[in-house]
């Protein structure tokens, strides 16, 4: 629902300004890794992160959701865009770097995550790198709530996201969003959206990246990220 019917609300909930600090960090990591000129973002969502990163690199954007790509296009009309599943995409070109932030957690199985790593590898030129930023690893996942929201052009949205792991042995956690939307006429509605996400041990991340062909390393910041270099 969040990435389809509610896509037009994305800039209300999550305006580009809130991405500035993390975007600066990702730009620094990518520059240090391979000094890229051209970067592909898989799972670009509404394009808010790309809006910052394009000040440093030429960005191409891919997402499985046509609605989210339309939102990304409004913010980034200057970026090439592709509707593509990160597990299957083959764009028949290579990039200096591939970037996945806040999207790779939708890979719920080892098979899907390995397919996504293969997609990244297929699109990184030799000497380039792929940066994977999952929400958490098995070692760092925390049950918690997060809240946020904002307003834009007379519309307001607020959400609370509840991260839970009812079965810590199955490699999947759940996120339930309670969403309040206030239209321009003042009418408020309340919606619920349920997401299921994959969480894997950091050792598996590193092993699967190596098996996909990358030289793999873990980068520790607030959360963990994984950098795969293509030799
Ligand atoms: C939270 S948004 C991403 C935000 C964006 N990466 C950023 O940092 O601003 C998650 C996105 O992942 C996309 N997504 C989920 N599964 C996908 C898949 N299999 N292939 C490509 N995109 C996918 C969703 O459509 C959604 O737009």
| Minimum CA distance residue for ligand 1 atom 3 | 45
Identify whether the C-beta of residue 120 lies closer than 8 Å to the C-beta of residue 100: yes
The residue with tokens 């999947």 is 172
Q: What is the pLDDT of residues 120-176, one digit of tens each?
A: 999 999 999 999 999 999 999 999 999 999 999 999 999 999 999 999 999 999 999
Mutate to test the pocket of ligand 1, among 8, 20, 53, 64 (most ligand atoms within 8 A of CB): 64
Give the model's confidence band at 60: pLDDT under 50 very low, under 70 low, under 90 confident, else very high. Answer: very high
Judge whether residue 222 has pLDDT over 80: no
Q: Is the pLDDT of residue 111 over 80?
A: yes
57, β-bridge pairs = none
Evaluated on CA atoms 35, 37, 38, 41, the torsion sign reads positive
pLDDT given for residue 115 in this prediction: 98
Q: Provide the whole-model pTM.
A: 0.96
């Amino acid at each position: 629902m969040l990435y389809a019917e509610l896509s037009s609300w994305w800039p209300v909930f999550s305006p580009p300004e809130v991405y500035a600090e993390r975007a600066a960090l990702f730009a620094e990591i990518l520059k240090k890794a391979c000094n890229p000129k051209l970067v592909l973002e898989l799972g670009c969502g509404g394009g808010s992160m790309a809006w910052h990163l394009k000040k440093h690199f030429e960005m191409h954007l891919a997402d499985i959701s046509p609605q989210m790509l339309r939102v990304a296009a409004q913010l980034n009309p200057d970026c090439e865009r592709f509707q593509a599943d990160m597990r299957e995409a083959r764009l028949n070109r290579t990039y200096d770097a591939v970037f996945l932030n806040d999207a790779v957690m939708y890979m719920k199985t080892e098979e899907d995550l390995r397919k996504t790593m293969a997609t990244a590898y297929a699109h990184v030129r030799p000497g380039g790198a792929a940066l994977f930023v999952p929400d958490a690893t098995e070692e760092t996942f925390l049950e918690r709530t997060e809240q946020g929201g904002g307003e834009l052009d007379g519309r307001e949205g607020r959400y609370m996201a509840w991260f839970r792991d009812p079965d810590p042995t199955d490699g999947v956690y759940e996120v339930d969003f309670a969403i309040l939307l206030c239209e321009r006429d003042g009418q408020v509605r309340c919606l619920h959206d349920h997401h299921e996400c994959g969480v894997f041990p950091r050792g598996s991340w590193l092993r699967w990246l190596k098996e996909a062909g990358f030289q793999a390393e873990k980068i520790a910041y607030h959360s963990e990220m994984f950098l795969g270099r293509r030799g």
